[in-house]
Amino acid sequence: MGGEYTLEGRALVGELFEEQKVALHIRDGVIIEIEERHTVPERWVCPAFFNAHTHIADTVAMDIDAPGSLAELVAPPDGLKHRLLRTTGTDAMIHAMRGTVDVMRMTGTSGFADFREGGPAGVAALRTALGGSGMDAVIFGRDGGEADADGLGISSVREHGAGTGDLVARARSAGKMVALHAGEKHSRDVEEAIALEPDLLVHCTHATDRQLRMIADAGIPVAVCPRSNWRLGVASSPEFPPIRRMLDIGCNVVLGTDNVMFVQPDMGAEMSFVSYVYGLEPATILGMATAGAALAGASYLIAEQNKAHFITVDGARGNALFSKNIARSVVNRLNSLSFEGTILN
């Protein structure tokens, strides 16, 4: 939506996601004023979400029947996922990725950070799939794709052996971000990953407290993907990933959904899972589901001067009217509430 308009409702405002009855005045996609109101229509306004870790090209292998462990399926370079990616035609891959971008939009996500395989052609295919979606996409490429992307995505610090440092240095000198998986199955690769001073660490499921303190001190955001970890069998309790300890230690924790092959990139479902497994406060979970927008140089919080990235829910439909805490209802049960839409600007 361009131009100027006003949106009234019960909004989750600012970094505390404090419920307020407001009129949001938006001009050219920017929230220019938040005005308190005594009465508002039955509409909830919540920041849209940023999915901090995806592999959306995996859509081509969605829920495939395959022998072996899921971890083997996604392991580069020859796991089934990678063989399928290599043999899928560009048009089919773009079609699949576009479908997944649609799902993200439909489920309230306004931006995402993707690990895109397939070199420069893979990055170009994702850009084509994004065309006109209005999504903030942060693309981490590899195999040369990083030159055309926002950053370099490294599967594991061990993957390139001694060459990792050079790869990272080249990406840095080209002004690119660096992201890598670390600590997914054990803690042994975490310190080497921290030493690369990345812009984003993904997983840290098995990071030790000492490693988490190093990550917090270095100010490196951590994208946790709890449903993926459970699905891959590297987590089975709130100890892994240790989200509470990460937060207590002062890490900047952001939420991602990982491989579309076996996890739907639906932030409502991810928040609900985190809510049930970890029992965190709704504002904490909403913070993790939105803070990744900083990777795109944005803030999705409802605050004056921020760009408008909202979802709206019809608060009069279904059982929404009976919510005593709309932030908790969004976190616990967004998928069965009545989405009115995602407003990107």
Which residue's C-beta sits nearest to Zn ion? Answer: 258
Between residues 199 and 258, which has the closer beta carbon with respect to Zn ion?
258
Which residues make Cβ contacts (< 8 Å) with residue 136, sequence separation at least 6? 50, 110, 111, 112, 293, 296, 298
Rounded-to-5 percentages of helix, strand, coil across the chain: 40, 25, 35
Contact between residue 294 and residue 20 where contact means Cβ atoms under 8 Å apart: no
> Residue 81 or 309: which CB sits closer to Zn ion?
81
Give the nearest distance from C-beta 228 to Zn ion in angstroms. 7
**How many CB atoms are located within 10 Å of the residue 178 CB?**
21
**Minimum separation from the CB atom of position 232 to Zn ion (A):** 10
Q: How many of the other CB atoms lie within 10 Å of CB of 308? A: 24
Interface characters, 244-263, with Zn ion (x: CB under 5 A): --------------x-----
- Minimum distance from residue 267 beta carbon to Zn ion (Å): 16
Nearest approach, Cβ of residue 8 and Zn ion (Å): 40
Contacts of 158 (CB under 8 A, 6+ apart): 189, 192
Closest to Zn ion by CB, 32 vs 64, is 64
By beta-carbon proximity to Zn ion, the closer residue of 228 and 323 is 228
Binding mask 68-97 vs Zn ion (x if CB under 5 A, - otherwise)? ------------------------------
Sequence length of the chain is 345
**Minimum separation from the CB atom of position 181 to Zn ion (A):** 5
Work out how close the CB of 202 gets to Zn ion at its nearest, in angstroms, rounded to a whole number. Answer: 5
Closest to Zn ion by CB, 12 or 222? 222
Query: How many chain residues touch Zn ion (CB under 5 A)?
Result: 1
Q: Which is nearer to Zn ion, 76 or 119 (CB)?
A: 76
Contacts of 270 by beta carbon, 8 Å cutoff, 6+ apart: 225, 226, 227, 255, 256, 257, 289
Query: Do 25 and 3 touch, CB atoms closer than 8 A?
Result: no
Interaction with Zn ion in 173-202: which residues (CB under 5 A)? none
Binding residues (CB under 5 A) for Zn ion: these are 258
